Every structure is written in structure tokens, then in C-alpha cells.
Amino acid sequence: EAQVTQNPRYLITVTGKKLTVTCSQNMNHEYMSWYRQDPGLGLRQIYYSMNVEVTDKGDVPEGYKVSRKEKRNFPLILESPSPNQTSLYFCASSFNRLSYEQYFGPGTRLTVT
Amino acid sequence: AQTVTQSQPEMSVQEAETVTLSCTYDTSESDYYLFWYKQPPSRQMILVIRQEAYKQQNATENRFSVNFQKAAKSFSLKISDSQLGDAAMYFCAYRSKTGGGADGLTFGKGTHLIIQP
């Protein structure tokens, strides 16, 4: 089944404790991205990757890192999480940067206390 | 940069009635995609319908249709014969075809649709 998976689905952590949210897709997609969703703000792009070893900042990159060492994986790294990073995070992928359809993962609910 | 505006934070409709969700956007580009996504309580993002800007014909998908007014930069979603399963948050989104900006989707803030039985 074609899908985007994220782990963990739920995470509660404390300020400053490094964490990684994994994202994996099995569709051989070139383009992957991360979004965060906050009430009243919709979804905003954090980082994106057009292919292996090619990443770039989205609209709200501060406090996040990403890497793309393999085509299927695109982890989101929070080196020193803060409470303002409490949010719902979505990973998405598409065939390439111009494909009209993006496939979304199920979301990761992160709470930073 | 592109912006997407959904001016209705919440809408309510009786089951079996028709409801229209509004979306306007701002862009200097001439070719792009527009989308409506549905987010039910499960939080999964589900693509409802898409429209390509160069296509004048409005997209339809079963009970869902759009009214795309390119000159007015308006992209409304009409849901006919509303069903209880349509209750969700709906997001309007824009994506450049030329890969400008951050290359991803630009979302509106969402409209919470309530279906009254």
C-alpha cells in the first residue's frame, strides 16, 4: 500500500531534550516536506527536500533541522525543543516538486513542556 | 509570496442541504494548482478536489464542486447533499506550478464545517 508513515504518532517531552520525528514513504517520491499545524494558523511548511541531499527552508524553519540521506526517509530533528514547538506535525511527499498531489502522513502530535 | 484566505472560521449546515465554503488567494503567477483538503477528527489530510489554473472548467468530484474565478482569485467549494461524514475542518491550499517560493502548499487557516442532523 502506498503510504507515508510517521513515528511517533504522539510525543510528550521536556524543554531542551533532543528529539527526532521520522518520516518514510514507499512511493519512490523525490519531493518530501514537513508542515506544522497550529489552531487558527492552518498548515505551514517547515522544510522541504527536492531529492537526496537537497533540502531547503520553508516558511517556519527556526528551531528545526532535517536530513535526506535516503530517498525514502526525511526525519525532522528538534535539537532543543521549546514549548512554542508544541504542534501537530505532518510529513508529505510527492513525485516531484511540481506534482499536483501531495501524500500526507498521519500526523505527529508533539507536546513540549 | 502567495497568501490564501478563508474568511469563514466556522460554518453550519443542515444534513442534505448545500453549503459553500469561501477561499480567496493572492498570487502574481498565472499557472498554479488550487486544492481543497478535508481534515476529519482523525486528523488525516484528505484531498477533496483540485483545480488547475489554466483550466476554465470548474472541477467536480461527486457531491463536491468548485467555483473557480481566476480574475477574482476566488476558489469556493460547494458541498451538495451534505452528509454527517462531511463534518470536518476544510483547508484551501495553493501550489505554484513553477516551483516558486518554498515549493510547497500554502494553506488557508481553515473552515470548521458542522453538519446538523
> With contacts defined as CB-CB under 8 Å, which chain A residues touch B91?
42-43
**Residue in B47, B103, B110 closest to A97 by CB:** B103
pLDDT at A99 over 90: no
| Cβ–Cβ < 8 Å for A43, A36 | yes
Q: What is the mean pLDDT of residues B50-65?
A: 93
The count of CB pairs under 8 A between chains A and B is 62
Amino acid at A70: E
pLDDT at B114 over 80: yes
pLDDT of residue B98: 74
- The Cα of B99 is separated from the nearest Cα of chain A by a number of Å equal to 6
Q: Does the CA dihedral A28-A32-A38-A41 come out positive or negative?
A: negative
Nearest residue in chain B measured CA to CA from A88: B43
